[in-house]
Amino acid sequence: MKKSLSVLALIASMMTASTALAAERTVTFAVDNMTCASCPYIVKTSMAAVPGVANVTVSFKAKTATVTFDDARTNADTIAAASMNAGYPAHLRQQGS
């Protein structure tokens, strides 16, 4: 009985450990080809459709998209690819840019 409880405790701790390592991340992309009022909507919906994306804010004026996502479920490259597939190439902006 003690052994099975120990095994269950070990399994439970391993399952929660992987969840604890996940972090919410926010990145900003420079987005090309945004030329009209509907472009930000298309960029936002294409990026928001990526599983793990929590929030997308697009600035038509600055030609940027700021995305908050769960880095255990997706990454910046996948989000940029979603925008690219919609016709709007997105590139990570460097800090301070």
Using one digit for the tens of pLDDT, what is the confidence trace for 8-46?
455 555 555 445 567 999 999 999 999 999 999 999 999
In 3D space, the residue among 13, 38, 29, 37 whose CA is nearest the CA of residue 82 turns out to be 29
Burial class (CB in 10 A: 0-12, 13-18, 19+), 88: buried
| Per-residue pLDDT tens over the stretch 78-88 | 999 999 999 99
Tell me the pTM: 0.76
Coil, helix or strand at residue 97: coil
Backbone phi, psi, residue 16, to 5°: -75, -25
